[in-house]
Amino acid sequence: MSLLEVRNVTLKFGGVVAVNDVSFEVEEGEVFALVGPNGAGKSTLFNLISRFYDPVEGEIVFNGENLLKHPPHDIAKLGIARTFQNIELFEQATVLQNLLVGRNRFRKSNLFSELLFLPSVRQAEIENRRAVEDVIDFLDLHAYREKYIAGLPYGVRKVVEMGRALAIQPKLLLLDEPASGLSVEETQDVAFWVEDIKKQMGITVLMVEHDMHLVASVSDRVMALADGKKLALGTPQEVQNHPAVIEAYIGT
Protein backbone atom coordinates (compact mmCIF):
# COMPACT_ATOMS: atom_id res chain seq x y z
CA MET A 1 0.00 0.00 0.00
CA SER A 2 1.29 3.43 -0.92
CA LEU A 3 1.25 6.22 1.66
CA LEU A 4 -0.64 8.53 -0.68
CA GLU A 5 -2.80 7.53 -3.64
CA VAL A 6 -4.24 10.16 -5.93
CA ARG A 7 -6.64 8.52 -8.34
CA ASN A 8 -8.12 10.19 -11.41
CA VAL A 9 -8.49 13.54 -9.69
CA THR A 10 -10.02 16.47 -11.56
CA LEU A 11 -10.63 20.04 -10.38
CA LYS A 12 -12.02 22.93 -12.41
CA PHE A 13 -12.09 26.66 -11.73
CA GLY A 14 -14.88 27.92 -13.96
CA GLY A 15 -13.72 26.98 -17.45
CA VAL A 16 -10.15 26.16 -16.42
CA VAL A 17 -9.38 22.50 -15.77
CA ALA A 18 -6.63 23.10 -13.20
CA VAL A 19 -6.09 19.37 -12.54
CA ASN A 20 -7.21 16.99 -15.27
CA ASP A 21 -7.64 13.29 -14.42
CA VAL A 22 -4.33 13.03 -12.57
CA SER A 23 -3.21 9.82 -10.84
CA PHE A 24 -0.02 9.06 -8.93
CA GLU A 25 1.14 7.28 -5.81
CA VAL A 26 3.71 8.33 -3.24
CA GLU A 27 5.49 5.48 -1.48
CA GLU A 28 6.40 5.66 2.17
CA GLY A 29 9.95 6.95 2.68
CA GLU A 30 10.47 8.53 -0.73
CA VAL A 31 10.96 12.08 -1.94
CA PHE A 32 8.51 12.67 -4.78
CA ALA A 33 8.66 15.88 -6.82
CA LEU A 34 6.02 17.60 -8.92
CA VAL A 35 7.42 19.73 -11.73
CA GLY A 36 5.93 21.67 -14.58
CA PRO A 37 5.52 25.16 -16.01
CA ASN A 38 3.54 27.86 -14.18
CA GLY A 39 -0.16 27.11 -14.13
CA ALA A 40 0.43 23.35 -14.54
CA GLY A 41 -1.73 22.57 -11.51
CA LYS A 42 0.98 21.77 -8.95
CA SER A 43 -0.23 24.03 -6.14
CA THR A 44 -3.82 23.02 -6.88
CA LEU A 45 -2.83 19.38 -6.34
CA PHE A 46 -1.35 20.38 -2.98
CA ASN A 47 -4.57 22.21 -2.15
CA LEU A 48 -6.55 19.10 -3.02
CA ILE A 49 -4.35 16.85 -0.87
CA SER A 50 -4.55 19.30 2.04
CA ARG A 51 -8.35 19.42 1.56
CA PHE A 52 -8.64 23.11 0.70
CA TYR A 53 -10.61 22.03 -2.35
CA ASP A 54 -12.91 19.13 -3.14
CA PRO A 55 -12.16 17.44 -6.45
CA VAL A 56 -15.05 17.17 -8.90
CA GLU A 57 -13.86 13.65 -9.72
CA GLY A 58 -11.48 11.14 -8.24
CA GLU A 59 -10.25 9.77 -4.96
CA ILE A 60 -7.41 10.58 -2.58
CA VAL A 61 -6.33 7.90 -0.13
CA PHE A 62 -3.80 8.60 2.61
CA ASN A 63 -2.43 5.84 4.79
CA GLY A 64 -5.38 3.65 3.80
CA GLU A 65 -7.96 6.34 4.71
CA ASN A 66 -10.29 8.05 2.29
CA LEU A 67 -9.00 11.59 2.70
CA LEU A 68 -12.07 13.12 1.06
CA LYS A 69 -14.20 12.08 4.03
CA HIS A 70 -12.11 14.30 6.29
CA PRO A 71 -12.47 18.06 6.81
CA PRO A 72 -9.36 20.25 6.36
CA HIS A 73 -8.76 20.57 10.10
CA ASP A 74 -8.24 16.79 10.37
CA ILE A 75 -5.30 16.85 7.97
CA ALA A 76 -2.57 17.56 10.52
CA LYS A 77 -3.96 14.96 12.91
CA LEU A 78 -3.91 12.38 10.11
CA GLY A 79 -0.23 13.15 9.54
CA ILE A 80 -0.01 15.64 6.68
CA ALA A 81 1.74 19.01 6.97
CA ARG A 82 2.43 21.55 4.25
CA THR A 83 4.25 24.74 3.41
CA PHE A 84 2.86 27.44 1.15
CA GLN A 85 4.41 28.84 -2.00
CA ASN A 86 3.72 32.28 -0.54
CA ILE A 87 4.97 31.97 3.01
CA GLU A 88 2.09 31.93 5.50
CA LEU A 89 3.42 32.86 8.92
CA PHE A 90 2.14 35.15 11.67
CA GLU A 91 4.13 38.30 10.99
CA GLN A 92 3.60 39.84 14.42
CA ALA A 93 4.70 36.73 16.30
CA THR A 94 8.13 35.29 17.01
CA VAL A 95 9.75 32.30 15.32
CA LEU A 96 9.14 30.24 18.46
CA GLN A 97 5.46 31.25 18.60
CA ASN A 98 4.99 30.41 14.92
CA LEU A 99 6.52 26.99 15.41
CA LEU A 100 4.28 26.34 18.42
CA VAL A 101 1.11 27.35 16.59
CA GLY A 102 1.02 24.25 14.42
CA ARG A 103 1.45 22.06 17.48
CA ASN A 104 -1.73 23.39 19.03
CA ARG A 105 -3.72 21.17 16.72
CA PHE A 106 -2.51 18.29 18.84
CA ARG A 107 -4.09 19.58 21.99
CA LYS A 108 -6.41 16.90 23.24
CA SER A 109 -7.66 19.22 25.94
CA ASN A 110 -10.64 21.55 26.13
CA LEU A 111 -10.96 24.90 27.83
CA PHE A 112 -11.99 23.30 31.10
CA SER A 113 -8.95 21.05 31.36
CA GLU A 114 -6.76 23.99 30.36
CA LEU A 115 -8.17 26.14 33.16
CA LEU A 116 -7.46 23.41 35.65
CA PHE A 117 -4.05 22.86 34.05
CA LEU A 118 -4.52 19.10 34.26
CA PRO A 119 -1.51 16.75 33.94
CA SER A 120 -2.58 15.85 30.39
CA VAL A 121 -2.34 19.52 29.43
CA ARG A 122 1.09 19.84 31.04
CA GLN A 123 2.25 16.71 29.25
CA ALA A 124 1.04 18.07 25.90
CA GLU A 125 2.88 21.33 26.56
CA ILE A 126 6.09 19.44 27.24
CA GLU A 127 5.69 17.42 24.03
CA ASN A 128 4.96 20.56 22.01
CA ARG A 129 8.05 22.29 23.37
CA ARG A 130 10.22 19.27 22.68
CA ALA A 131 9.00 18.94 19.08
CA VAL A 132 9.63 22.64 18.49
CA GLU A 133 13.09 22.57 20.09
CA ASP A 134 14.01 19.62 17.86
CA VAL A 135 13.02 21.65 14.81
CA ILE A 136 15.02 24.67 16.02
CA ASP A 137 18.07 22.41 16.39
CA PHE A 138 17.54 20.69 13.07
CA LEU A 139 17.11 23.90 11.05
CA ASP A 140 19.65 25.80 13.15
CA LEU A 141 17.19 28.56 14.05
CA HIS A 142 18.59 29.30 17.51
CA ALA A 143 19.66 32.83 16.60
CA TYR A 144 16.11 33.69 15.50
CA ARG A 145 13.88 32.02 18.06
CA GLU A 146 12.71 35.23 19.78
CA LYS A 147 12.76 37.37 16.64
CA TYR A 148 9.54 38.60 15.02
CA ILE A 149 8.80 37.22 11.57
CA ALA A 150 8.12 40.71 10.19
CA GLY A 151 11.78 41.70 10.64
CA LEU A 152 13.39 38.58 9.19
CA PRO A 153 15.06 38.19 5.80
CA TYR A 154 13.16 36.18 3.18
CA GLY A 155 15.55 33.21 3.35
CA VAL A 156 15.01 32.81 7.10
CA ARG A 157 11.21 33.07 6.77
CA LYS A 158 11.36 30.34 4.19
CA VAL A 159 13.18 28.11 6.68
CA VAL A 160 10.68 28.94 9.44
CA GLU A 161 7.85 28.06 7.05
CA MET A 162 9.40 24.63 6.62
CA GLY A 163 9.94 24.40 10.38
CA ARG A 164 6.29 25.16 11.11
CA ALA A 165 5.29 22.16 9.01
CA LEU A 166 8.02 19.91 10.46
CA ALA A 167 7.00 20.74 14.04
CA ILE A 168 3.75 18.87 13.38
CA GLN A 169 5.90 15.72 12.97
CA PRO A 170 3.94 14.60 9.91
CA LYS A 171 4.10 11.30 8.04
CA LEU A 172 3.88 13.25 4.80
CA LEU A 173 5.42 16.67 4.30
CA LEU A 174 4.21 18.79 1.37
CA LEU A 175 6.74 21.43 0.34
CA ASP A 176 5.52 24.00 -2.19
CA GLU A 177 8.61 25.48 -3.87
CA PRO A 178 10.94 25.25 -0.85
CA ALA A 179 13.84 26.84 -2.78
CA SER A 180 12.03 29.60 -4.67
CA GLY A 181 13.78 32.93 -4.20
CA LEU A 182 16.69 31.38 -2.31
CA SER A 183 20.39 31.80 -3.06
CA VAL A 184 22.54 28.90 -4.27
CA GLU A 185 23.87 28.38 -0.72
CA GLU A 186 20.40 28.48 0.82
CA THR A 187 19.15 26.03 -1.81
CA GLN A 188 22.02 23.70 -0.89
CA ASP A 189 20.80 23.82 2.73
CA VAL A 190 17.30 22.89 1.58
CA ALA A 191 18.77 19.89 -0.28
CA PHE A 192 20.57 18.70 2.87
CA TRP A 193 17.47 19.18 4.99
CA VAL A 194 15.22 17.31 2.58
CA GLU A 195 17.69 14.40 2.58
CA ASP A 196 17.73 14.35 6.38
CA ILE A 197 13.95 14.72 6.65
CA LYS A 198 13.73 11.55 4.60
CA LYS A 199 16.65 9.58 6.01
CA GLN A 200 16.84 10.62 9.66
CA MET A 201 13.26 11.57 10.41
CA GLY A 202 11.69 8.98 8.14
CA ILE A 203 9.22 11.52 6.76
CA THR A 204 7.90 11.08 3.23
CA VAL A 205 8.22 14.26 1.15
CA LEU A 206 6.05 15.48 -1.71
CA MET A 207 7.58 18.60 -3.16
CA VAL A 208 6.81 21.12 -5.87
CA GLU A 209 10.00 22.70 -7.15
CA HIS A 210 11.25 24.57 -10.21
CA ASP A 211 14.96 24.16 -9.52
CA MET A 212 15.64 21.03 -11.57
CA HIS A 213 19.09 20.67 -10.07
CA LEU A 214 17.55 20.43 -6.60
CA VAL A 215 14.82 18.10 -7.86
CA ALA A 216 17.35 15.78 -9.51
CA SER A 217 19.61 15.73 -6.45
CA VAL A 218 16.99 14.87 -3.81
CA SER A 219 14.04 13.16 -5.53
CA ASP A 220 13.48 9.46 -5.91
CA ARG A 221 10.70 10.01 -8.42
CA VAL A 222 9.27 12.92 -10.33
CA MET A 223 5.97 13.63 -12.03
CA ALA A 224 5.79 16.32 -14.69
CA LEU A 225 2.52 18.16 -15.30
CA ALA A 226 1.41 20.71 -17.86
CA ASP A 227 -2.01 22.31 -18.23
CA GLY A 228 -3.37 20.13 -15.45
CA LYS A 229 -2.34 16.87 -17.11
CA LYS A 230 0.27 14.29 -16.23
CA LEU A 231 3.03 14.27 -18.86
CA ALA A 232 5.53 11.82 -17.40
CA LEU A 233 6.40 9.98 -14.22
CA GLY A 234 9.69 8.28 -13.37
CA THR A 235 13.19 8.89 -12.09
CA PRO A 236 14.43 12.49 -12.40
CA GLN A 237 16.51 11.48 -15.41
CA GLU A 238 13.65 9.69 -17.16
CA VAL A 239 11.36 12.67 -16.68
CA GLN A 240 13.93 15.26 -17.76
CA ASN A 241 14.58 13.33 -20.98
CA HIS A 242 10.93 12.63 -21.75
CA PRO A 243 9.92 14.16 -25.12
CA ALA A 244 6.58 15.49 -23.80
CA VAL A 245 8.39 17.23 -20.94
CA ILE A 246 11.01 18.78 -23.20
CA GLU A 247 8.25 20.03 -25.48
CA ALA A 248 6.22 21.49 -22.61
CA TYR A 249 9.23 23.47 -21.39
CA ILE A 250 10.29 24.67 -24.82
CA GLY A 251 6.71 25.64 -25.59
CA THR A 252 6.56 28.07 -22.64
47: nearest Cα among 6, 78, 77: 6
Look at residue 116 and give the partner it binds from ligand ADP, Mg ion, none, a contact being a CB closer than 5 to 8 Å depending on partner kind. none
Return d(Cα 64, Cα 223) in angstroms, integer: 22
Of 41 and 79, the one with the shorter C-beta distance to ligand ADP is: 41
**8 Å CB contact between 197 and 173:** yes
Task: Write the interaction track for Mg ion spanning residues 150-179; mark x where CB under 5 A is met and - where it is not.
Answer: ------------------------------
Look at residue 166 and give the partner it binds from Mg ion, ligand ADP, none, a contact being a CB closer than 5 to 8 Å depending on partner kind. none
Look at residue 38 and give the partner it binds from Mg ion, ligand ADP, none, a contact being a CB closer than 5 to 8 Å depending on partner kind. ligand ADP
Q: How far is the CB of 176 from ligand ADP (least distance, A)?
A: 8
**8 Å CB contact between 162 and 217:** no
Q: Does 38 bind ligand ADP (CB under 6 A)?
A: yes
Return d(Cα 8, Cα 244) in angstroms, integer: 20
Q: Does 43 bind Mg ion (CB under 5 A)?
A: yes
Strands (E), 149-217: 172-176, 204-208
Q: How far is the CB of 138 from Mg ion (least distance, A)?
A: 26
Look at residue 41 and give the partner it binds from ligand ADP, Mg ion, none, a contact being a CB closer than 5 to 8 Å depending on partner kind. ligand ADP
203: nearest Cα among 2, 28, 64, 74: 28
Count of other CB atoms within 10 angstroms of residue 19: 27
Q: Which of 32, 33, 36, 205 binds ligand ADP (CB under 6 A)?
A: 36
Of 41 and 79, the one with the shorter C-beta distance to Mg ion is: 41
Going 138 to 143 to 145 to 149, the CA torsion angle's sign is: negative
Task: Write the interaction track for ligand ADP spanning residues 206-245; mark x where CB under 6 A is met and - where it is not.
Answer: ----------------------------------------
**Interacting span for ligand ADP (CB under 6 A) from 11-19, 123-131, 186-194, 209-217:** 11-19
Return d(Cα 43, Cα 176) in angstroms, integer: 7
**8 Å CB contact between 37 and 209:** no
**Interacting span for ligand ADP (CB under 6 A) from 40-48, 130-138, 199-207, 234-242:** 40-48
In SS3 terms, 63-105 reads as: CCEEHHHCCHHHHHHHCEEECCCCCCCCCCCEHHHHHHHHHHH
Q: Does 164 bind ligand ADP (CB under 6 A)?
A: no
Of 104 and 252, the one with the shorter C-beta distance to ligand ADP is: 252
Return d(Cα 180, Cα 187) in angstroms, integer: 8
- Positions touching Mg ion (CB under 5 A) are 42-43, 85
